């Protein structure tokens, strides 16, 4: 088989493959036999029709088309191998010329785009200076106080922000309804955990008090029988608890139980160091992002639309899986965002284009720098994947092709090289 390649626009090529000789003749013979096997002619049993008779009933053009189907895949593979092509989507097949002795097949292929790198070393991107203010330390200390707050019994009347320990039972038309009863239930007043009006009408109650609370369920309530229904909740308040936040002093510093912290001043210094560490990490991530942005923007690549569409679909499926793992039906999530599936994918498309170009650029850097991945590195990565997914090693090897592992490691090496070179 002979093949030639012609460059087209938008990272497409025209691959022309000539199939002739025994291969093409055998393909036609196979196609004819298949057609003859399914042929029905009066006076003959199906599959037992003489060749001479079958030829009169089978159109040669149909045999030719079937023969093309027989050789097309083999011709494509040979053309790809001979011309070192990397396809990113299924090609479009056209018959350029066809006869009894040969066929010329034209494949319009979308290939991995050629990347022209810009500067990717010594960019001089600096990390932002980390500054921690007294206000930030105070805010962090306040969060610690809130985390160590306790609920303690309270005398007097129930107020907004208190926690009520109560029994309740709901009635519609003097009949208790399903799901409307609980005992020793803890409810923070003002949290909005119950239907509108319930918590507000409990305000002012005292421990031991019983009260009937008349309410109307919202029209959009999830239980059909209760939508817009007038109900009565019989409530008994057992206890009132208020949230007490500890004072900021040396005793509190000890209670926080951080290594080396014995006084309030120790705690403040510990908090400052924690904030510095967090901000240093954020600043470094921002520096790395700025580096990658400059490297990618400096590179040139004619990215085919199909690659962006494929990445958009991958991001969409990843999002869907994450949402559903949280127990939220994806259709419900889409409704919550106020978008439809098309709008959601349009929003993901920008990220998809950035991700595709980033990988292409890093792949080109790996090629330029001759970054190799050893068999030992692949084996170690499989071990890490086995631990991460809690799967047997052989299961991981079956699920993830070693070429994909090598590619990911190569991209990672290129990423590390870019960071270290700036």
pLDDT tens track for 154-208: 999 999 999 999 999 999 999 999 999 999 999 999 999 999 999 999 999 999 9
Q: What percent of the chain has pLDDT over 90?
A: 89
Q: Is 400 a residue whose pLDDT tops 90?
A: yes
CATH number at residue 164: 3.10.50.40
If asked whether residues 165 and 104 sit together in one domain, one would say no
Model confidence at 24, pLDDT cuts 50, 70, 90, reads: very high
- Tokens encoding 205: 């109650």
If asked whether residues 103 and 22 sit together in one domain, one would say yes
Residue 274: closest CA among 129, 130, 126: 130
Contact yes or no for 111/13 (Cβ under 8 A): yes
Model confidence at 38, pLDDT cuts 50, 70, 90, reads: confident
DSSP letters for 318-348: HHHHHHHHTT--HHHHHHHHT--HHHHHHHH
What does the pLDDT read at residue 192? 94
d(CA 319, CA 311): 12
What does the pLDDT read at residue 56? 86
If asked whether residues 259 and 325 sit together in one domain, one would say no
The domain in which residue 33 lies consists of 2-111
pLDDT tens track for 137-156: 999 999 999 999 999 999 99
3-state SS record for 345-395: HHHHHHHHHHHHHHHHHHHHHHHHCCCCCCHHHHHHHHHHHHHHHCCCHHH
DSSP letters for 29-89: HHHHHHHHHH---TTS-TT---HHHHHHHS-HHHHHHHHHHHHHHHHHHHHHHHHT--BSS
DSSP helix/strand/coil, 251:
helix
pLDDT tens track for 268-294: 999 999 999 999 999 999 999 999 999
Contact yes or no for 248/141 (Cβ under 8 A): yes
pTM for the whole structure: 0.73
Taking residues 18-31, report their average pLDDT: 95
Contact yes or no for 92/108 (Cβ under 8 A): yes
What does the pLDDT read at residue 16? 98
If asked whether residues 181 and 232 sit together in one domain, one would say yes
If asked whether residues 196 and 105 sit together in one domain, one would say no
Which of the listed residues 85, 111, 137 is the one where a domain comes to its end? 111
If asked whether residues 127 and 271 sit together in one domain, one would say yes
Between residues 338 and 77, the one the model is more confident about:
77
If asked whether residues 363 and 272 sit together in one domain, one would say no
If asked whether residues 69 and 187 sit together in one domain, one would say no
CA dist 323 → 210, 316, 318 (Å): 42, 11, 9
Model confidence at 53, pLDDT cuts 50, 70, 90, reads: confident
What does the pLDDT read at residue 47? 78
pLDDT tens track for 236-275: 999 999 999 999 999 999 999 899 999 999 999 999 999 9
Q: How many domains does the chain have?
A: 4
DSSP letters for 111-163: BPPPEE----S---PPPPPP---HHHHHHHHHHHHHHT-EEEE--SB--TT-E
Contact yes or no for 295/118 (Cβ under 8 A): yes
What does the pLDDT read at residue 11? 93
CATH number at residue 398: 1.10.3120.10
Contact yes or no for 110/89 (Cβ under 8 A): yes
CATH number at residue 67: 3.30.70.1050
If asked whether residues 411 and 312 sit together in one domain, one would say yes
DSSP letter at 206 equals B
What does the pLDDT read at residue 369? 98
What does the pLDDT read at residue 40? 85
Taking residues 366-394, report their average pLDDT: 96
What does the pLDDT read at residue 334? 86
What does the pLDDT read at residue 290? 96
If asked whether residues 130 and 163 sit together in one domain, one would say no
If asked whether residues 77 and 141 sit together in one domain, one would say no
- Axis-axis angle for helices 264-298, 341-368 (nearest 10): 80
If asked whether residues 312 and 333 sit together in one domain, one would say yes
């Amino acid at each position: 088989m002979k093949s030639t390649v012609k460059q087209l626009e938008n990272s497409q090529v025209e691959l022309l493959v000539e199939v002739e000789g025994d291969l093409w003749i055998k393909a036609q013979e196979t196609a004819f036999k298949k057609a003859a096997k399914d042929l029905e002619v009066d006076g003959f049993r199906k599959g037992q029709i003489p060749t001479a008779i079958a030829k009169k009933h089978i159109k040669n053009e149909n045999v030719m088309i079937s023969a093309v189907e027989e050789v097309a895949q083999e011709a494509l593979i040979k053309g790809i191998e001979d011309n070192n092509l990397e396809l990113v989507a299924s090609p479009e097949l056209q018959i350029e010329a066809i006869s009894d002795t040969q066929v010329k097949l034209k494949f319009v292929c979308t290939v991995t785009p050629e990347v022209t790198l810009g500067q990717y070393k010594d960019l001089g991107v600096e990390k932002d200076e980390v500054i921690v203010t007294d206000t930030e330390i105070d805010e962090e200390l306040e969060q610690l106080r809130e985390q160590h707050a306790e609920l303690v019994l309270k005398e007097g009347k129930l107020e907004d922000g208190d926690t009520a320990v109560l029994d309740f039972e709901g009635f519609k038309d003097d009949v208790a309804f399903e799901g409307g009863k609980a005992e020793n239930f803890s409810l923070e007043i003002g949290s909005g955990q119950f239907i509108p009006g319930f918590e507000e009408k409990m305000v002012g109650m005292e421990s031991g008090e019983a009260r009937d609370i008349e309410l109307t369920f919202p029209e959009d309530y999830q239980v059909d029988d209760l939508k817009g229904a007038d109900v009565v909740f019989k409530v008994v308040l057992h206890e009132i608890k208020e949230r007490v936040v500890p004072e900021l002093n040396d005793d509190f510093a000890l209670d926080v139980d951080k290594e080396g912290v014995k006084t309030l001043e120790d705690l403040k210094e510990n908090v400052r160091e924690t904030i510095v560490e967090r901000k240093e990490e954020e600043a470094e991530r921002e520096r790395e992002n700025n580096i990658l942005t400059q490297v990618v923007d400096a590179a040139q690549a004619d990215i085919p639309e199909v690659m962006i569409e494929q990445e958009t679909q991958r991001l969409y499926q990843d999002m869907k899986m994450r949402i559903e793992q949280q127990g939220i039906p994806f259709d419900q999530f889409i409704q919550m965002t106020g978008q439809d599936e098309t709008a959601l994918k349009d929003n993901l498309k920008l990220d998809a284009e950035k991700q595709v170009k980033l990988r292409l650029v890093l792949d080109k850097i790996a090629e330029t720098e001759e970054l190799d991945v050893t068999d030992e590195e692949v084996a170690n990565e499989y071990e890490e994947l086995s631990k991460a997914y809690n799967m047997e090693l052989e299961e991981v090897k079956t699920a993830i092709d070693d070429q994909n592992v090598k590619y990911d490691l190569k991209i990672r090496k290129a990423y590390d090289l870019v960071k270290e070179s700036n």
